[in-house]
Amino acid sequence: MPELIADKVVSRIYGSGRGKVFTPKDFLDLGSHASVRQVLARLEKQGTIRRLLRGVYDYPSFSRLLQAEASPDPDAIARAIARNHGWTILPSGETALNLLGLSRQVPAQWQYLSDGPSRRYKWRGGTLVFTHRTNRETSSLSPRTAILVQGLKALGRARVDDSLIDELKKRFDARDRARAVREAKYSTGWVYEFIRKLQSEGEQGA
pLDDT tens sequence across 61-86: 987 877 788 889 999 999 999 999 99
- From the list 134, 138, 154, the residue with the least C-alpha distance to 146 is 138
Q: What is the helix (H) or strand (E) element at residue 179, kind and residue range?
A: helix 174-183
Q: Does the pLDDT at position 185 exceed 60?
A: yes
- For the chain, the average pLDDT equals 90
pTM above 0.75, yes or no: yes
Q: Quick: pLDDT tens for 100-159.
A: 988 888 888 999 999 899 999 998 888 999 999 876 655 678 889 999 999 999 999 999
Pairing of strands 50-53, 56-58: antiparallel
Nearest to 152 by CA among 130, 139, 137: 137
pLDDT > 90 in the chain, percent? 71
Contacts with 118 (C-beta within 8 Å, 6 or more apart), sequence order? 130, 131, 132
pLDDT at 28 over 90: yes
Looking at residue 103, its pLDDT comes to 87
Q: What percent of the chain has pLDDT over 70?
A: 94
144 with 156: CB under 8 angstroms? Answer: no
pLDDT band at 162 (very low <50, low <70, confident <90, very high): confident
pLDDT for position 186: 86
